Amino acid sequence: MGPSRELMGDKIRFVLNGEPIEVTGVSPQATLLEFLRDERRLTGTKEGCAEGDCGACTVVVAQRHGDGLAWKPINACIRLLPSVDGKAVFTVESLKSDDGALHPLQKALVECHASQCGFCTPGFAMSLFGLYKSARTPSTTDIHDALSGNLCRCTGYRPIVDAAKRMYALPPAQGWRAPGIAEDGTRVIGDDEKRMAAQLATLARDDSFEYAHDGGRWSAPRTPDALARACADRPDARIVAGTTDVGLWVTKELRDLVDMIYVGDVEALTAIHETTDGIEIGAAVTLTDAMPILDRHFPELHEAWQRFASVPIRNSATLAGNVANGSPIGDSMPALLALDARVVLRSVRGEREVPLDRFYPGYRKTALVPGEFVSAIRIPARTEGVLLRAYKISKRYDQDISSVFACFALAIETGVVRSARIGCGGVAATPVRARKTEAVLEGARWDDAQAERAAQTLHDEFVPIDDMRATAGYRRNVLANLMRRFRLETSGSKTITRVEALVLQT
């Protein structure tokens, strides 16, 4: 009998700029960016920060979606190479057509004088390509959102935003480079795209993808059972999803992640189930896919989700990864705490459900035991009469980590607070509920005087730390002011403008 497939290892198979390739001999923790630049000499894709912040490394990854493909810009600098197995990757080199003509988005960048030194330009081009594939008449806000993960030091953003508008006015690109949305708003799937989807179908695997090199290992099971078995067999392996946290451990902390188990290819975990009981978001669902569903049920939280990182990060990052990472400044957890979410944990022993407010025993600790993984996040159905708001406070509006995050959910019946749930981030060692403040509100009339009592309790409820994002005093003041803002906004007496919100934050 020959060596097992696990020891032999599979090849990483994907389509790069339209050409199918197979890769062996590189570390499983090599980033996609390293591979593109060092192995393929595709140096149009740049390395700026190597931490997902600047967008210079943006490429577009396409995956099968119905008959066609879903085209998503991502940050190649923190995406690990084996995770693109079975997918198609497009770099800036692929944008010009086969006869050498520039893509309309490139022509628009030239015509609008949207590039000076040019270092950021390939990244902007790929974010614009993602937009070209997903929208036909984007609003200025949509364009800002699409470009929120790209930084430019010299040109300034106005000409780049102009180019984003202009690209739709130019004669459209043809073939797979064509616009993804028709003028009537319907999705366009041309023959080239169908051919690419069929090509990707030939790369699909029924069995776990097992890749190994030089002592490093990457497993990508296809089913929850196979994932549970892998986690049971290798309890010390690192479970990875979008690697938007884990990627930085590699590029910034230079850690060796010898053994990794990837959840992103477990199809059952890419599902979102909506029932009358609530929403269940699988562990492999990206924030981009989760956001529209969450928006539908909880539209008040839209701005907070939109300010979570940037489009390319949200295209890779999962909600479960945010929860499992357990950062005290993670954005989803305060909102999920206020929504009374539960974390579904799975292992070979079966499934158990832990309320999120009991998931964090301490700083960056979770209730996960060895061999267990997060399989989903469950959010109960919205109850009638709930007042809901989430506020993210950070130094920059876009693409920044929170100094403080607060989410308020108050169920009001005939003017009285029936239940109160307040989730907070950035004020304790873990994401946390403000239980004392909740107690001040529950059973009381929801009026200005009670809201002020709650604000004062909230001010004193936590002992935050000073760090480079904010001082402890600032965090306490802001938290209290957010309660006041919540009262103003939900009592119908006032709509808070951006300027007033800034004043309340000081």
Ligand X SMILES: Cc1cc2nc3c(=O)[nH]c(=O)nc-3n(C[C@H](O)[C@H](O)[C@H](O)COP(=O)(O)OP(=O)(O)OC[C@H]3O[C@@H](n4cnc5c(N)ncnc54)[C@H](O)[C@@H]3O)c2cc1C
Q: What does the binding site for ligand FES look like in residue numbers (CB under 6 A)?
A: 47-50, 52-57, 75, 77, 115-121, 152-155
Residue 235 beta carbon to ligand X: minimum distance, rounded to whole angstroms? 12
Residue 113 beta carbon to ligand FES: minimum distance, rounded to whole angstroms? 10
Give CA–CA dist 341/357, Å, rounded.
8
> Whose CA is closest to 247, among 74, 419, 406?
74
3-state helix, strand, coil in the chain (%, to 5): 35, 25, 40
Q: How many residues bind ligand X (CB under 6 A)?
A: 33
Other beta carbons less than 10 A from residue 101's beta carbon = 13
Residue 501 beta carbon to ligand FES: minimum distance, rounded to whole angstroms? 28
Per-residue x/- marks for ligand X, 352-371, CB under 6 A? ----------------x---
Give CA–CA dist 473/216, Å, rounded.
46
Q: Checking DSSP bridges between strand 416-425 and strand 404-413, what pairing results, if any? A: antiparallel
> Whose CA is closest to 161, among 135, 138, 185?
138
Among 238, 302, 445, 453, binds ligand X (CB under 6 A): 238
Residue 332 beta carbon to ligand X: minimum distance, rounded to whole angstroms? 6
Stretch of residues binding ligand X (CB under 6 A), selected from 61-69, 96-104, 237-245, 498-506:
237-245
Determine if 228 is a binding residue for ligand X (CB under 6 A): no
Determine contact, residues 469/426, Cβ cutoff 8 Å.
yes
The neighbouring-strand residues paired with 37 are: none
Residue 40 beta carbon to ligand X: minimum distance, rounded to whole angstroms? 24
Restricting to residues 292-321, name those near ligand X by CB under 6 A. Answer: 308-309, 313, 316-318, 320-321
Determine contact, residues 132/122, Cβ cutoff 8 Å.
no
Residue 225 beta carbon to ligand FES: minimum distance, rounded to whole angstroms? 35
CA 277 remoteness from chain centre: 25
Per-residue x/- marks for ligand X, 143-182, CB under 6 A? ----------------------------------------
Nearer to ligand FES, 157 or 474 (CB): 157
Give CA–CA dist 94/96, Å, rounded.
6
Name the CA dihedral angle for 21, 22, 24, 28, rounded to a multiple of 10 degrees: 80
Q: Among ligand X, ligand FES, none, what binds residue 318 when CB lies within 5 to 8 Å by partner kind? A: ligand X
Q: Among ligand X, ligand FES, none, what binds residue 263 when CB lies within 5 to 8 Å by partner kind? A: ligand X
Nearer to ligand X, 61 or 320 (CB): 320
Give CA–CA dist 201/203, Å, rounded.
5
Restricting to residues 254-283, name those near ligand X by CB under 6 A. Answer: 263, 283
Nearer to ligand X, 193 or 280 (CB): 280
Backbone torsion region of residue 467, taken as left when φ is above 0, otherwise alpha when ψ lies between -120 and 50, otherwise beta: beta
Among 322, 347, 403, 481, binds ligand X (CB under 6 A): 322
Nearer to ligand X, 57 or 88 (CB): 57
Determine contact, residues 29/216, Cβ cutoff 8 Å.
yes
- Assign 221 to helix, strand or coil: coil
Q: Among ligand FES, ligand X, none, what binds residue 331 when CB lies within 5 to 8 Å by partner kind? A: ligand X
Q: What is the DSSP string of 343-377?
A: EEEEETTEEEEEEGGGS-SBTTB-S--TT-EEEEE
Extract the tokens encoding 144.
């800002």
Element (H, E) at 218: strand 216-220
Among 243, 251, 315, 430, binds ligand X (CB under 6 A): 243
Residue 37 beta carbon to ligand FES: minimum distance, rounded to whole angstroms? 11
Restricting to residues 56-85, name those near ligand X by CB under 6 A. Answer: 78
Nearer to ligand FES, 48 or 172 (CB): 48
Among 17, 47, 48, 51, binds ligand X (CB under 6 A): 51
Q: Among ligand X, ligand FES, none, what binds residue 106 when CB lies within 5 to 8 Å by partner kind? A: none
How many C-alpha atoms does 145 have within 13 Å on its Cβ side? 19
Determine contact, residues 299/382, Cβ cutoff 8 Å.
no
Nearer to ligand X, 68 or 328 (CB): 328
Give CA–CA dist 476/470, Å, rounded.
10
Q: Among ligand X, ligand FES, none, what binds residue 108 when CB lies within 5 to 8 Å by partner kind? A: none
Provide the binding-site residues for ligand X, judged by CB under 6 A.
51-53, 78, 238-246, 248, 263, 283, 308-309, 313, 316-318, 320-322, 324-325, 330-331, 368, 373-374, 401
